[in-house]
């Protein structure tokens, strides 16, 4: 029998005071046959990482009034000293491609990108699938009822969760016409945007009834394309939440049971930033 068994059964008043704690430790040791503790990193070694990020290039989708991503060669090839070297220059607005929205984007005095703590950038993931609704209506707005239906099937959205929405539109990226509803630029492009988003009532339900860290979806904006007041942004960011837009491969995720890591470029004073976001499946 393990050492801990004799420890808690010995006729010693001081040791008996440790009974509850020692019993708990005993259970853990007995479960492993009193063998050496398992590798604490095994869950990471055996899991699967899913990249939810689109690569940045000249095809990356940006808001119609934004300057698109550009990349130029500084040097590429063999140097005079005889070794290979490459370096490139890129330029991009904060809000385009797979990117991160900080609260200050729509909340005066809100956190800028570098002020968002790492703790808020990672958490248990929840995936709400509304792809069937969006397939019937490309201007679909995700409702509080969609969230409540998800909870009826999978349980309460956990505290500290990152809630992702799969509209199915990621499959159209980077075809701007199919993905955003228009290939036009400038204000004319904005006027013709058409894609799903989160209804303000769903945003209110989340901040009033659940304690989450962030939302994300596979469209250019968490507000639907025809929004002219961006109320969903305003509601969520006023409560300190963050958002991820233009996500990829959401069909690869289950409804829950995964972990999200969303790490934006740490731009001081930024309202947003290019984002590398991944999900981990144990």
Contact 200, 224 (CB under 8 A): no
Quote the CA–CA distance of 262 and 118 in Å, as a whole number.
9
Looking only at the bridges linking them, the beta strands covering 197-198 and 161-166 are unpaired
The full set of domains in the chain, from first to last, is: 1-38 (no CATH), 48-67+94-281 (3.50.30.50)
What SS3 class is residue 138? coil
At 99-158, the pLDDT tens digits run 999 999 999 999 999 999 999 999 999 999 999 999 999 999 999 999 999 999 999 999
Among 111, 91, 124, which residue's Cα sits nearest to residue 266? Answer: 111
Looking only at the bridges linking them, the beta strands covering 141-142 and 197-198 are parallel
pLDDT at 5: 42
Read off φ and ψ for residue 135, nearest 5 degrees: -65, -30
Confidence of residue 277 (pLDDT cuts 50, 70, 90): very high
The token duo for 105 is 């984007």
The token duo for 55 is 């690569």
Quote the CA–CA distance of 139 and 259 in Å, as a whole number.
29
Q: Which helix (H) or strand (E) holds 107?
A: none
Residue 177, pLDDT above cutoff 90: yes
Mean pLDDT of the chain, nearest integer: 90
Residue 181, pLDDT above cutoff 50: yes
Confidence of residue 10 (pLDDT cuts 50, 70, 90): very low
The model's pTM:
0.85
Read off φ and ψ for residue 278, nearest 5 degrees: -135, 155
Percent of the chain whose pLDDT exceeds 70: 87
Q: CA angle, corner 46, sides to 45 and 52, nearest 5?
A: 85
Mean pLDDT of 77-90: 98
CA 129 from centre of chain: 15
At 142-159, the pLDDT tens digits run 999 999 999 999 999 999
The token duo for 14 is 């001081």
Quote the CA–CA distance of 196 and 136 in Å, as a whole number.
11
| E strand intervals along 99-241 | 99-101, 122-129, 141-142, 161-166, 197-198, 212-217
Percent of the chain whose pLDDT exceeds 90: 84
Read off φ and ψ for residue 98, nearest 5 degrees: -70, 115
């Amino acid at each position: 029998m393990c050492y801990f068994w004799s420890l808690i059964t010995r006729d010693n008043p001081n040791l008996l005071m440790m009974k509850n704690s020692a019993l708990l430790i005993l259970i853990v040791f007995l479960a492993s046959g009193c063998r050496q503790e398992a590798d604490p990193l095994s869950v990471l070694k055996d899991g699967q990482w899913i990249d939810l990020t689109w690569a940045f290039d000249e095809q990356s989708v940006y808001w119609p009034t934004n300057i698109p991503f550009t990349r130029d060669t500084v040097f590429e090839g063999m140097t005079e000293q005889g070794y290979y070297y490459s370096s490139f220059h890129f330029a991009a607005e904060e809000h385009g491609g797979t990117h991160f929205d900080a609260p200050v984007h729509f909340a005066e005095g809100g956190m800028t990108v570098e002020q968002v703590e790492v703790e808020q950038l990672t958490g248990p993931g929840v995936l709400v699938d509304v792809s069937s609704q969006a397939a019937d209506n490309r201007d679909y707005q995700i409702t509080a009822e969609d969230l409540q239906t998800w909870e009826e099937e999978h349980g309460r959205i956990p505290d500290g969760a990152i809630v992702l929405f799969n509209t199915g539109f990621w499959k159209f990226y980077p075809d701007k016409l199919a993905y955003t509803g228009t290939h036009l630029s400038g204000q004319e492009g904005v006027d013709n945007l058409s894609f799903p988003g989160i209804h303000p009532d769903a945003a209110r339900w989340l901040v009033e009834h659940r304690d989450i860290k962030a939302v994300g979806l596979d469209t250019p904006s968490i507000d639907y394309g025809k929004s002219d007041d961006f109320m969903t942004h305003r509601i969520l960011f006023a409560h300190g939440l963050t958002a991820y837009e233009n996500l990829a491969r959401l069909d690869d995720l289950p409804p829950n049971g995964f972990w999200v890591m969303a790490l934006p470029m740490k731009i001081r004073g930024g309202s947003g930033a290019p984002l590398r976001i991944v999900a981990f499946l144990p």
